[in-house]
Structure formats: C-alpha cells, structure tokens
Amino acid sequence: MSFTFDATFVALLALALFLALLVWLKVPTMILSALDARSQAIAKELHEARRMREEAEKLLAEYQAKHAQAEAEAKAIVETAKEQAAAVAEETRQSMMAAMARREKQVDDRIANAETKAVDEVRAAAAEAAIAAAERMIRERMNDATQAALVEEGVGEMKRKFG
C-alpha cells in the first residue's frame, strides 16, 4: 500500500496549516476583543442616551415647576392686570413647550439611532455565526464519497460548458 500526495491531501494539509496559523496568531482572540470593544461602545452610547433623556426629563420637571409658578403669579396679577398676565403666561408656555419638544425629539432620535445600529450589528453577527455554522456542518458531513461525487459533477458540468 503506497501513499501518494494527491490534491485533496495537499488542500487538507494547507487548510490545517492555515487554521493553526490563525490560532497561533491569536486571530479569534482579536476578533472577540473587537466585538467586546464594539459592545462596550454601544453600551456607552446607550448610557449617554439614557443620561440625556434623564436630563431632558429634569428640564421638563423644571419647566413644569416654572410653569406652575408662572400660573400662580398670573393669578395674583389677574387682580391688577389680567391682560398682561395672560400674555406673559402664554409666551412662557409656548417657549417652554417648544424647548421641551426639541429636547425630547433629539433624545428620541439618538435612542432610535442607537437601537437601529445595535440591531444591525446583532443581525450581522448572527449572519456571520450562521455562515460559520453552515460551513462547519458542511465540513463535518463531507466525506470521500460526497467529495468524489461533487468533483465528478463539476467535471461533467465543465465538459458540457466547454467541450
């Protein structure tokens, strides 16, 4: 029984060397580090968005308190100048509502962007994991008989197309 170096064996040997090189160069560790860093960046962005939302809620509470105070002052002034008090209260309320609406919209936009970005990254990671699982499953199920059948099918297809 003599042992020959055919193309399949050489390809297997090259693949094994390549995978060993990847492990030796710590590529999986670098990939995991990059994913961890990205996860931390997303968490930081979400934390910043939450902080900004809390800040906006504090501003809202302050503006509501100011609004309540303005209404109380307006009631006291009503006795002396009803028209002037109504104009001041309406102007204050409109500016406050516009500022609150702007802040709320900014916070909501940032949160929506962070969520979309996180969902896209999770989908990309899931797709990569599915591809890796499919590749691993194909490798596990591939044996000499299926390889030979695939080679013969490829040769037949090439004969049909080229010759």
pTM for this prediction = 0.32
Pairwise CA distance, residues 16 & 10, whole Å:
10
Q: Which domain holds residue 40?
A: 35-125
Residue 99 forms part of a structural domain: yes
Pairwise CA distance, residues 131 & 109, whole Å:
33
Residue 160 forms part of a structural domain: no
Q: What is the pLDDT of residues 136-154, one digit of tens each?
A: 877 777 777 887 888 889 9
Pairwise CA distance, residues 110 & 89, whole Å:
32
Residue 42 forms part of a structural domain: yes
Q: How confident is the model at residue 163 (pLDDT cuts 50, 70, 90)?
A: low
Q: Are 117 and 105 in contact (CB under 8 A)?
A: no
Residue 63 forms part of a structural domain: yes
Q: What is the pLDDT of residues 20-37, one digit of tens each?
A: 998 898 888 999 999 999
Residue 103 forms part of a structural domain: yes
What 8-state DSSP symbol labels residue 2? Answer: -
Nearest-CA neighbor of 74 among 60, 61, 87?
87
Q: How many domains does the chain have?
A: 1
Residue 130 forms part of a structural domain: no
Q: What is the pLDDT of residues 29-71, one digit of tens each?
A: 999 999 999 999 999 999 999 999 999 999 999 999 999 998 8
What 8-state DSSP symbol labels residue 46? Answer: H
The H or E element containing residue 134 is helix 27-141
Residue for token digits 């979309």? Answer: 116
The torsion region of residue 2 among left (phi > 0), alpha (psi -120 to 50) and beta comes to: beta
